[in-house]
Amino acid sequence: MSAILTEKNSIPPPWQESPGLWTLAWRRLLNDRVGVVALVVVVAFISMMLASYAGLIAKNWSKEVGVSYANPVFMAGAENLEARAVTNRDFGTQAAPVDLSDVDPLAPRYKEWDERAAKISVTETRRSETLAFGGDKWGRDVLQKVIKGSEVSIFVGLTAAILATLIGTILGALAGYWGGKVNDFLEWFYNIFTSIPYILLILAFAAVFKKGLDTIIFILAFTGWTGIYRLVRAEYIKHGAREYVKAAQAIGASHMSRMFVHILPNASHVILVQLSQHVVGFIKAEVILSFLGLGVPVDMVSWGTMLAEAQNELVIGKWWQLFAAGASMAVLVTAFSLLTDSLRDALDPKLK
């Protein structure tokens, strides 16, 4: 309960601006411990994404700084057969060389070549045996990859989900509130979208638009709004007939006000739950799209591409890339779900 509501004895004098619905909801959210923790986690992820986008962190994610499949620092002693196989350091010492100089026609020139080679200075970068959270096949730092990958994954997941929810909510509100011809038209539009197989629709969009992040977002939002539309429409039909909406009409509230000031907060629980489900769904959808070759280009990294790589690594016991991508996704998704849950409770004054 916010401060103002608990002060039953001292009524604040009636000249202050009465706080709005969203202000009160925000106050209730701040009193919910789970909600605040979830909010902090989500904000942390988003700032990480923004920092990475601005080039402040994980700028050099693509540098091959470690040996292949470098061990994470906390298991530095573990054997790394792959790294040794790639560098081939031991081959020369294992068998005594056979003297072939009497049959090798090039033998007289070896000495000359060795001298010339000695003149060229080769600076071999010292590859690190261990990395903060291990390395991938090419020795790239997994931790940096995760941070860089969040840029694509969170950006795609969040924006696409918000866009889809926006489209679904507005169309659903229009159809449910107005009914009649508007509803018929939108239902027809909806039916077209749902009658085409999902993947086929995505392929069709992908074929028309050029490849890139904005295209992925557009595709996901444009194919993902349908479920939200149906649910929001149902809520609007239900609430449109309620007496409080009639009462709002009787006091002269405009259509816009009735749709978005009166009914929307009462349908917000549905919208919020849908939003959180779609964020999860779209982060995963980006993986599928990338797998089909319609997702992010090969020179970029996302949690999806990391998960795809991790499949092969797991067989040879290199679990850290899978863990890093999976854990970040799990933490973000859980925090986001908890946040929307708290937000839903905060918007419902009955549950304070």
Partner 1 sequence: MIDSTPILQVRDLDIRFRINKKEEPFRAVKGISFDIPTNTTVALVGESGSGKSVTAMSILGLLPENAIIAPSSQILYGGRNLAFAPLSDMQRIRGKEISVIFQEPMTSLNPVFPVGDQIGEVLRLHMGLSGRAAKERTIELLNEVGIPDPKLRVRSFPHEMSGGQQQRVMIAMAIACEPKLLIADEPTTALDVTIQKQILDLIASLQEKHHMSVLFITHDLGVVGDIADTVVVMQNGEIQEQGTVSQIFHAPAHPYTKALLACRPRLDRRPKRLPVIDDFMKGDGKPNLEPRTRGLKEGDAVILEVKALTKTFFLKEGLFGKRAVPAVKDVSFRLRKGKTLGLVGESGSGKTTVGLTLMRLHDATSGEVLFEGEDLLKLTDKEMMAYRRRIQIIFQNPYASLNPRNTVGQILVEPMKIHKIGANERERVEMAFALLKRVGLSEASFYKYPHEFSGGQRQRIAIARCLTMKPDVLICDESVSALDVSVQAQVLNLLQDLQDEFGLSYIFISHDLAVVKYISDEVMVMSNGEIVEIADSDEIYLNPKQEYTRKLLSSIPKGLETQAA
Q: Are 66 and 130 in contact (CB under 8 A)?
A: yes
Which listed residue (79, 90, 114, 243) binds partner 1 by CB under 8 A?
243
**180 lies in the site for partner 1, by CB under 8 A:** no
**21 lies in the site for partner 1, by CB under 8 A:** yes
**Whole-number minimum distance, CB 20 to partner 1, in Å?**
7
**Whole-number minimum distance, CB 336 to partner 1, in Å?**
23
Query: What is the token pair recorded at 211?
Result: 């490849």
**199 lies in the site for partner 1, by CB under 8 A:** no
d(CA 345, CA 339): 10
**17 lies in the site for partner 1, by CB under 8 A:** yes
Which listed residue (56, 212, 246, 291) binds partner 1 by CB under 8 A?
246
Which listed residue (56, 198, 242, 291) binds partner 1 by CB under 8 A?
242
Nearer to partner 1, 23 or 60 (CB): 23
Which listed residue (179, 227, 265, 326) binds partner 1 by CB under 8 A?
265
Q: Which stretch binds partner 1 (CB under 8 A): 133-141, 194-202, 242-250, 313-321?
A: 242-250
**211 lies in the site for partner 1, by CB under 8 A:** no
Q: Which three-class secondary structure string do you get for the chain?
A: CCHHHHCCCCCCCCCCCCCCHHHHHHHHHHCCHHHHHHHHHHHHHHHHHHHHHCCCCCCCCCCCCEEEEEEEHHHCCCCCHHHHHHHCCCHHHHCCCCCCCCCCCCHHHHHHHHHHHHHCCCCCCCCEEEEECEECCCCCEHHHHHHHHHHHHHHHHHHHHHHHHHHHHHHHHHHHHHCHHHHHHHHHHHHHHHHCCHHHHHHHHHHHCCCCHHHHHHHHHHHHHHHHHHHHHHHHHHHHCCHHHHHHHHCCCCHHHHHHHHHHHHHHHHHHHHHHHHHHHHHHHHHHHHHCCCCCCCCCCCHHHHHHHHHHHHHCCCCHHHHHHHHHHHHHHHHHHHHHHHHHHHHCHHHC
Nearer to partner 1, 208 or 250 (CB): 250
# residues near partner 1 by CB under 8 A = 31
Nearer to partner 1, 250 or 315 (CB): 250
**Whole-number minimum distance, CB 180 to partner 1, in Å?**
12
Phi, psi of 136 (to 5 degrees): -95, -165
**23 lies in the site for partner 1, by CB under 8 A:** no
**330 lies in the site for partner 1, by CB under 8 A:** no
**349 lies in the site for partner 1, by CB under 8 A:** yes
**Whole-number minimum distance, CB 340 to partner 1, in Å?**
17
Nearer to partner 1, 27 or 284 (CB): 27
> What residues are paired with 66 via a beta bridge?
128
Which listed residue (76, 247, 327, 330) binds partner 1 by CB under 8 A?
247
**248 lies in the site for partner 1, by CB under 8 A:** yes
- Tokens 């919910």, located at residue: 32
Q: Which stretch binds partner 1 (CB under 8 A): 175-183, 187-195, 257-265, 330-338?
A: 257-265
Nearer to partner 1, 11 or 207 (CB): 11
**Whole-number minimum distance, CB 222 to partner 1, in Å?**
31
d(CA 337, CA 38): 8
**8 lies in the site for partner 1, by CB under 8 A:** yes
Task: By CB under 8 A, name the binding residues for partner 1.
Answer: 4-5, 8, 11, 14-18, 20-21, 24, 242-244, 246-253, 257, 262, 265-266, 347-350
